[in-house]
Amino acid sequence: MQKIAMLGGGFIGRFYAESLHGQRSRDRVVAIYARREETAQKFAADYGCDFWSTEMEAVIANPEVTMVCIALPNNLHEPAVMLCAKHKKNVVCTKPLGRNAEEALRMMRAVEEAGIFGGYLEDLCYTPKFLKALESVKRGALGRILWAKSRETHPGPHSDWFWDKEQAGGGCMLDLGCHCVEIARSFIGKEVKPVEVMCWAATQVKPIDAEDHAIALVKYENGAIGQFEVSWTFRGGMDLRDEVMGTEGTIWINNFLRTGFEMFTTGEGEGEDYVAEKAESNTGWLFPVGDEVNDLGYNHMFTDMFSACEAGREPVETFYDGYVVNAILDAAYRSATSKQWEPVAL
Amino acid sequence: MQKIAMLGGGFIGRFYAESLHGQRSRDRVVAIYARREETAQKFAADYGCDFWSTEMEAVIANPEVTMVCIALPNNLHEPAVMLCAKHKKNVVCTKPLGRNAEEALRMMRAVEEAGIFGGYLEDLCYTPKFLKALESVKRGALGRILWAKSRETHPGPHSDWFWDKEQAGGGCMLDLGCHCVEIARSFIGKEVKPVEVMCWAATQVKPIDAEDHAIALVKYENGAIGQFEVSWTFRGGMDLRDEVMGTEGTIWINNFLRTGFEMFTTGEGEGEDYVAEKAESNTGWLFPVGDEVNDLGYNHMFTDMFSACEAGREPVETFYDGYVVNAILDAAYRSATSKQWEPVAL
Amino acid sequence: MQKIAMLGGGFIGRFYAESLHGQRSRDRVVAIYARREETAQKFAADYGCDFWSTEMEAVIANPEVTMVCIALPNNLHEPAVMLCAKHKKNVVCTKPLGRNAEEALRMMRAVEEAGIFGGYLEDLCYTPKFLKALESVKRGALGRILWAKSRETHPGPHSDWFWDKEQAGGGCMLDLGCHCVEIARSFIGKEVKPVEVMCWAATQVKPIDAEDHAIALVKYENGAIGQFEVSWTFRGGMDLRDEVMGTEGTIWINNFLRTGFEMFTTGEGEGEDYVAEKAESNTGWLFPVGDEVNDLGYNHMFTDMFSACEAGREPVETFYDGYVVNAILDAAYRSATSKQWEPVAL
Amino acid sequence: MQKIAMLGGGFIGRFYAESLHGQRSRDRVVAIYARREETAQKFAADYGCDFWSTEMEAVIANPEVTMVCIALPNNLHEPAVMLCAKHKKNVVCTKPLGRNAEEALRMMRAVEEAGIFGGYLEDLCYTPKFLKALESVKRGALGRILWAKSRETHPGPHSDWFWDKEQAGGGCMLDLGCHCVEIARSFIGKEVKPVEVMCWAATQVKPIDAEDHAIALVKYENGAIGQFEVSWTFRGGMDLRDEVMGTEGTIWINNFLRTGFEMFTTGEGEGEDYVAEKAESNTGWLFPVGDEVNDLGYNHMFTDMFSACEAGREPVETFYDGYVVNAILDAAYRSATSKQWEPVAL
Ligand SMILES: NC(=O)c1ccc[n+]([C@@H]2O[C@H](COP(=O)([O-])OP(=O)(O)OC[C@H]3O[C@@H](n4cnc5c(N)ncnc54)[C@H](O)[C@@H]3O)[C@@H](O)[C@H]2O)c1
Ligand SMILES: NC(=O)c1ccc[n+]([C@@H]2O[C@H](COP(=O)([O-])OP(=O)(O)OC[C@H]3O[C@@H](n4cnc5c(N)ncnc54)[C@H](O)[C@@H]3O)[C@@H](O)[C@H]2O)c1
Ligand SMILES: NC(=O)c1ccc[n+]([C@@H]2O[C@H](COP(=O)([O-])OP(=O)(O)OC[C@H]3O[C@@H](n4cnc5c(N)ncnc54)[C@H](O)[C@@H]3O)[C@@H](O)[C@H]2O)c1
Ligand SMILES: NC(=O)c1ccc[n+]([C@@H]2O[C@H](COP(=O)([O-])OP(=O)(O)OC[C@H]3O[C@@H](n4cnc5c(N)ncnc54)[C@H](O)[C@@H]3O)[C@@H](O)[C@H]2O)c1
Express each pLDDT in D285-310 by its tens digit.
Answer: 999 999 999 999 999 999 999 999 99
Q: pLDDT confidence of D280, banded at 50, 70, 90?
A: confident
Q: Which atom of ligand 3 is nearest to the CA of C121?
A: 3
Q: Tell me the sheet residues that pair with D28.
A: D3
The reported pLDDT for the residue numbered A52 is 98
Contact A266 B249 (CB under 8 A): yes
Residues whose beta carbon lies within 6 Å of some atom of ligand 1 = A 8-13, 34-36, 39, 71-74, 76, 94-95, 121, 123, 159, 161, 175
Q: At what angle do helices C128-139 and C172-188 cross, to 10 degrees?
A: 40
**DSSP element (H, E) containing A3:** strand A3-7
C95 lines ligand 3 (CB under 6 A): yes
Full-model pTM = 0.96
**How many contacts (CB atoms, under 8 Å) link C and D?**
158
Question: In testing the pocket of ligand 4, which one of D6, D7, D11, D301 has its CB within 8 Å of the most ligand atoms?
Answer: D11
Q: Which residues contact B51 (CB under 8 A, 6 or more apart)?
A: B30, B31, B32, B44, B59, B62, B64
Average confidence (pLDDT) over C309-331: 98
How far does chain A reach from its first CA to its final CA, in angstroms? 36
Is A21 strand, coil or helix? coil
Provide the shortest C-alpha distance from residue D134 to chain A (in Å). 18
Do residues B210 and B167 make contact, with C-beta atoms less than 8 angstroms apart? no
SS3 annotation, chain D:
CCEEEEECCCHHHHHHHHHHCCCCECCEEEEEECCCHHHHHHHHHHHCCCEEECCHHHHHHCCCCCEEEECCCHHHHHHHHHHHHHCCCEEEEECCCCCCHHHHHHHHHHHHHHCCCEEEECHHHCCHHHHHHHHHHHHCCCCCEEEEEEEEECCCCCCHHHHCHHHHCCCHHHHHHHHHHHHHHHHHCCCCCEEEEEEEEECCCCCCCCCCEEEEEEEECCCCEEEEEEECCCCCCCEEEEEEEECCEEEEEECCCCCCCEEEECCCCCCCCCCCCCCCCCCEEECCCCCHHHHCCHHHHHHHHHHHHHHCCCCCCCHHHHHHHHHHHHHHHHHHHHCECEECCC
Residue ranges of alpha helices (H) inside chain B are: 11-20, 37-47, 56-61, 77-86, 101-114, 128-139, 165-168, 172-188, 292-295, 298-311, 319-338
Query: What residue owns the CA closest to ligand 2's atom 37?
Result: B35
The reported pLDDT for the residue numbered A237 is 95
**The pLDDT of residue C60 is above 80:** yes
C 178-237 residues with CB < 8 A to A:
235-237
Taking alpha carbons only, the member of D229, D300, D283, D289 closest to residue D25 is D300
**How many contacts (CB atoms, under 8 Å) link B and C?**
73
The reported pLDDT for the residue numbered B271 is 61
**The pLDDT of residue D282 is above 90:** no
Q: pLDDT confidence of D270, banded at 50, 70, 90?
A: low
In a mutagenesis test of the D interface, which of B285, B286, B289 is the best target, namely the one with the most D β-carbons within 10 Å? B285
pLDDT digits (tens, 9 = 90+) for C92-144: 999 999 999 999 999 999 999 999 999 999 999 999 999 999 999 999 999 99
Q: Which atom of ligand 2 is nearest to the CA of B96?
A: 43
Neighbour subunits, B (≥3 Cβ pairs < 8 A): A, C, D
In this structure, what DSSP letter does residue C275 have? -
D 108-167 residues with CB < 8 A to C:
127-129, 132-133, 136, 139-143
Average confidence (pLDDT) over A267-287: 81
Taking alpha carbons only, the member of C78, C66, C70 closest to residue C105 is C78
**The pLDDT of residue A124 is above 90:** yes
Is B234 strand, coil or helix? coil
Do residues A49 and B51 make contact, with C-beta atoms less than 8 angstroms apart? no
Question: In testing the pocket of ligand 1, which one of A15, A35, A68, A240 has its CB within 8 Å of the most ligand atoms?
Answer: A35
Give distance in angstroms: CA of C36 to centre of ligand 3: 13
Question: In testing the pocket of ligand 1, which one of A6, A7, A11, A292 has its CB within 8 Å of the most ligand atoms?
Answer: A11
CA A209 centroid distance within chain: 23
Average confidence (pLDDT) over C176-194: 98
Percent of chain A with pLDDT over 70: 99
A 92-111 residues with CB < 8 A to B:
none
**The pLDDT of residue C175 is above 80:** yes
The reported pLDDT for the residue numbered A272 is 66
Contact B306 A136 (CB under 8 A): no
Q: pLDDT confidence of D274, banded at 50, 70, 90?
A: confident
The reported pLDDT for the residue numbered C272 is 66
Could you say which of D280, D281, D285 has the minimum Cβ distance to residue B236? D285
Distance CA B292, CA B128 (A): 11
C94 lines ligand 3 (CB under 6 A): yes
Q: How many CB atoms lie within 10 A of CB A7?
A: 26
The reported pLDDT for the residue numbered C280 is 84
In this structure, what DSSP letter does residue A193 have? P
D 258-277 residues with CB < 8 A to C:
259-272
The reported pLDDT for the residue numbered B280 is 83
Contact D261 C271 (CB under 8 A): no
Residues of chain B with pLDDT under 50: none
Q: Are strands D28-33 and B342-343 parallel, antiparallel or unpaired?
A: unpaired
Could you say which of B217, B223, B340 has the minimum Cβ distance to residue C215? B217
Q: Which residues of A touch C233 (CB under 8 A)?
A: none
Could you say which of B248, B265, B288 has the minimum Cβ distance to residue A248? B265
**The pLDDT of residue C146 is above 80:** yes
**The pLDDT of residue C295 is above 90:** yes
Distance CA C61, CA C84 (A): 8
Do residues B175 and B168 make contact, with C-beta atoms less than 8 angstroms apart? yes
In a mutagenesis test of the D interface, which of B233, B280, B281 is the best target, namely the one with the most D β-carbons within 10 Å? B281
Average confidence (pLDDT) over A97-113: 98
The reported pLDDT for the residue numbered D267 is 86
Instruction: Find the residue in C nearest to D252 (Cα).
Output: C262
**Chain C interface includes A288 (CB < 8 A):** no
Contact A217 D231 (CB under 8 A): no
Q: At what angle do helices A77-86 and A101-114 cross, to 10 degrees?
A: 10
Contact D264 B280 (CB under 8 A): yes
Q: pLDDT confidence of A275, banded at 50, 70, 90?
A: confident
Query: What residue owns the CA closest to ligand 4's atom 7?
Result: D12
Taking alpha carbons only, the member of A284, B250, D135, D132 closest to residue C282 is A284
D94 lines ligand 4 (CB under 6 A): yes
Average confidence (pLDDT) over A184-211: 97
Instruction: Find the residue in A nearest to B143 (Cα).
Output: A269
The reported pLDDT for the residue numbered A282 is 86
- C-alpha distances in Å from residue A12, one per residue of A4, A9, A20, A230: 15, 8, 12, 19
**Chain B interface includes A302 (CB < 8 A):** yes
pLDDT digits (tens, 9 = 90+) for A153-179: 999 999 999 999 999 999 999 999 999
The reported pLDDT for the residue numbered B49 is 98
Q: Which residues of A touch C236 (CB under 8 A)?
A: 264, 285
The reported pLDDT for the residue numbered B189 is 98
pLDDT digits (tens, 9 = 90+) for D76-118: 999 999 999 999 999 999 999 999 999 999 999 999 999 999 9
Q: Break chain A down into helix, strand, coil percent, rounded to 5.
A: 40, 25, 35
Instruction: Find the residue in C nearest to B243 (Cα).
Output: C234
Q: Are strands C3-7 and C28-33 parallel, antiparallel or unpaired?
A: parallel
Provide the shortest C-alpha distance from residue A32 to chain C (in Å). 39
CA B267 centroid distance within chain: 34
Could you say which of C291, C295, C299 has the minimum Cβ distance to residue D23? C299
Q: Which atom of ligand 2 is nearest to the CA of B34?
A: 39
C40 lines ligand 3 (CB under 6 A): no
Contact C284 A287 (CB under 8 A): no
Ligand nearest to the CA of C125: 3
Q: Tell me the sheet residues that pair with C226.
A: C148, C218
The reported pLDDT for the residue numbered A270 is 66
In a mutagenesis test of the B interface, which of D239, D257, D262, D264 is the best target, namely the one with the most B β-carbons within 10 Å? D264
Distance CA B303, CA B309 (A): 10
Question: In testing the pocket of ligand 2, which one of B6, B12, B57 has its CB within 8 Å of the most ligand atoms?
Answer: B12
Contact B269 A246 (CB under 8 A): yes
The amino acid at D143: G
Q: pLDDT confidence of A271, banded at 50, 70, 90?
A: low
**Chain D interface includes C75 (CB < 8 A):** no
D95 lines ligand 4 (CB under 6 A): yes
ipTM computed for the complex? 0.96
Distance CA C54, CA C65 (A): 16
Percent of chain C with pLDDT over 70: 99
Instruction: Find the residue in D nearest to A203 (Cα).
Output: D223
Contact B283 D287 (CB under 8 A): no
How far does chain D reach from its first CA to its final CA, in angstroms? 36
pLDDT digits (tens, 9 = 90+) for D46-65: 999 999 999 999 999 999 99
